[in-house]
Structure 1
Amino acid sequence: MYVAVKGGEKAIDAAHDWLAKERRGDRAVAELSLAQIREQMSLAVNRVMAEGSLFDPDLAALAIKQARGDLIEAIFLIRAYRTTLPRLGASRPVDTGAMRCDRRISATFKDAPGGQVLGPTFDYTHRLAGLQTGGRGGRIRGRVPVCGDATDEAVPKPRITDILGRDGLIQDEPPGEAEPPDMTRAPMDYPAGRALRLQALTRGDEGFLLGMAYSTQRGYGRNHPFVGELRIGTVEVEMEVPELGEAVCVGELTLTECETVNQFAGSKIEPAQFTRGYGLVIGQTERKAISMALVDRALRWEELGEEDSGAPAQDAEFVLGHADNIQATGFLEHIKLPHYVDFQSELELVRRMRAEAAREAAE
């Protein structure tokens, strides 16, 4: 007979104590500081901020430490904390065209106006572990040249898609909603407009979106993208102050923006031209931004008058309903919690069915 495990509060308290010991690890090793996590694990911090929908590097570093490096658990902690914060107002849309770029590349135009800035990237490194020897990853020597000056903020860097737009070669973007929906304050509703879809994608799990984006490249969605532009840098965040009658800068935000240029043969309602996919994510999170842009374009099939290929990445309810790692984690992990009564009823049902089958076989 299956019986419930006994222990109750004492067992749970002991589990918490054990967790704290495991989190600290060997006390002969110096404890990680939040500054170390924030400065030396910045990509993990950026992911937690992006999927937690809260820009606070110190808080994200604390969440990573508390979660023992489990980024999904850290994202959960950030989102939970976010719900306790007051809502003071809404900022104006940020101007990514005025971004102070640390990294800005284009896979479509070699001589992009304003120059290309390779910036801090793994793209040109050898994937060999080398930090323990004191060298840079893979012990690469010499400096990788850049096409442009990352410190020269005076050089304008127009968007690549604007260049195509001047010649009418890329679809014009329709004006956005005056007040787009906020999925952090209202539940997801279908059919979801593009503004709501983009919110869900930027909060979605990076691994899930990467898999969806990869599927479109392999033919499940007829998506042939070029990275028109990928830029990472700092933008100013402004808010309207009624008492002053103008907008004031309340801070700066690091963002990663990706615009893809996609082939489009035209349809009954649109001429042959290029179309866009768009990704915008907090922090330096370029894999996520590129994945987001590919999935965004795949989800636009209906508004562009394309045929539904039945690909998973083109199914908005499938993508948006499964992209959130916090919802997925909660639903997945709840099955390890006690289900003794449910299991006992199913156990009795299976025994009864087997007994009935045995009786029928004997008759």
Structure 2
Amino acid sequence: MYVAVKGGEKAIDNAHAWLAEERRGDPSVAELSVPQIREQLKLSVNRVMAEGSLYDPDLAALAIKQSRGDLIEAVFLIRAYRTTLPRFAASNPVETAKMAVDRRISATFKDLPGGQILGPTFDYTHRLLDFKLMAEGELPTAPTAPASGEAVPHVTGLLAQGGLIQPEPQTDEMPPDLTREPLELPANRALRQQALTRGDEGFVLSLAYSTQRGYGRTHAFVGELRIGRVGVSVNIPELGFAVEIGEIELTECETVNQFTGSKTEPPQFTRGYGLVLGQSERKAISVSLVDRALRWAELGEDFIGAPAQDQEFVLSHCDNVQATGFLEHIKLPHYVDFQAELELIRRLRSEAIAEAAE
């Protein structure tokens, strides 16, 4: 039986009004501003920028406010907005070796060139609620790190000098752009990196954790984790050279993995690589671990059936906007489909009862 259903515009308008009221909360409490979110909820802003594929802290903070703190909804808003933006040019590859680092650590070399910089991190804090944050007080101050204009070389370069780590293949081929072209499988490493970088942090984290528990061929050390700012430049045809147009904050992780060799590769260390917009080291480490797990074919390894090795599984399910849309669509009207299912179940039950009575 088909029943025509008309949308209740008034009900929808009321739902929007109620949402706005819930977003504002208690009017007696000061309203949260976009600059406050940008400056004080920075890690949430960074996640929205990374998974939304748009580097703009103000817009990410606005999306967080509009979504009432639902970060996946905020990512959805940012992605929808970025589709309206014109593209003026393609930037040159950023040089992370020239990064102005705020944090740089290595789990493989204690005394690395350029030194270890702990930076702003929760790693060395006690996981205890700080009730002083509920009271107003003086602004905290941190020591200023000495500025350095020198390049900070990557730790994996030390291994490369001795031929102990697999060299990265160099290519001038323009990588596909996942934000403008649909994902096609099998995907090359550049496309996989894009999908993982803007994939859901929780999903990628779980996959990375699975590789550490044996569901993948990774025994990784953090060769280097760095957070800092890099310049972004574009080539200006009229000038004949590149011009720096600004800088962005990035988190970069290179993992060093055991590799006993294969039919095509000698025994050596191999790399996993993760690069994420903003300060997001958990995500960068996770991406590097999953990146290494997905490289099994090019390294001549056997496929052991681990989820993190299956690129169709990983890349088709890591996108939180796509996953959310598919999951939440089932709450929309499915009256006709359900009526068909209901009639089928009734008929099957009637037939089963009739057979039992014979």
TM-score range, shorter chain: over 0.9
**Which residue does the alignment assign to 2:139?**
none
8 Å contact 2:2–2:336 — kept in the other structure?
no
* Paired residue secondary structure (2:239): coil
**Which residue does the alignment assign to 2:73?**
73
Matches within 5 A, 1:1-363: 8-132=8-132, 150-363=145-358
Distance in 2, matches of 1:21 and 1:330, equals 25
**Which residue does the alignment assign to 1:140?**
none
Q: In the TM superposition, what is the alpha-carbon distance from 1:152 to its structure 2 partner?
A: 2.8
Q: TM-score, structure 1 length as denominator? A: 0.94
Distance in 1, matches of 2:357 and 2:128, equals 67
1:191-220: per-residue Cα shift (whole Å, max 9, x none)?
A: 100000001000100000000000000000
Q: TM-score, structure 2 length as denominator? A: 0.95
Distance in 2, matches of 1:115 and 1:4, equals 70
* Paired residue secondary structure (1:234): strand
One-letter identity of the residue aligned with 1:314: Q
8 Å contact 1:108–1:228 — kept in the other structure?
yes
8 Å contact 1:119–1:150 — kept in the other structure?
no
Q: In the TM superposition, what is the alpha-carbon distance from 1:131 to its structure 2 partner?
A: 4.2
8 Å contact 2:208–2:289 — kept in the other structure?
yes
* Paired residue secondary structure (2:51): helix
1:207-251: per-residue Cα shift (whole Å, max 9, x none)?
A: 000000000000001210000000000000000000111000011
* Paired residue secondary structure (1:281): strand
8 Å contact 1:171–1:275 — kept in the other structure?
yes
* Paired residue secondary structure (2:74): helix
Distance in 2, matches of 1:349 and 1:254, equals 57
8 Å contact 2:260–2:267 — kept in the other structure?
yes
1:266-285: per-residue Cα shift (whole Å, max 9, x none)?
A: 00111100000000000000
* Paired residue secondary structure (1:49): helix
One-letter identity of the residue aligned with 1:50: A
Q: In the TM superposition, what is the alpha-carbon distance from 1:6 to its structure 2 partner?
A: 7.4
One-letter identity of the residue aligned with 2:347: R
Runs of 5+ unmatched residues, structure 2: 136-141
* Paired residue secondary structure (2:223): strand
Runs of 5+ unmatched residues, structure 1: 136-142
* Paired residue secondary structure (1:256): strand
**Which residue does the alignment assign to 2:138?**
none
* Paired residue secondary structure (1:74): helix
Distance in 1, matches of 2:96 and 2:249, equals 10
Identity within the alignment, %: 73
**Which residue does the alignment assign to 1:139?**
none
8 Å contact 1:224–1:262 — kept in the other structure?
yes
Distance in 1, matches of 2:242 and 2:352, equals 76
* Paired residue secondary structure (1:258): strand
8 Å contact 2:230–2:247 — kept in the other structure?
yes
Q: In the TM superposition, what is the alpha-carbon distance from 1:150 to its structure 2 partner?
A: 3.6
Q: In the TM superposition, what is the alpha-carbon distance from 1:183 to its structure 2 partner?
A: 1.1
* Paired residue secondary structure (1:219): coil
Distance in 2, matches of 1:132 and 1:26, equals 23
Distance in 2, matches of 1:87 and 1:157, equals 32
One-letter identity of the residue aligned with 2:184: D
Deviates more, 1:171-180 or 1:150-159: 150-159
One-letter identity of the residue aligned with 1:166: Q
Distance in 2, matches of 1:115 and 1:222, equals 31
Number of aligned residues:
355
Moved over 6 A (4+): 1-7
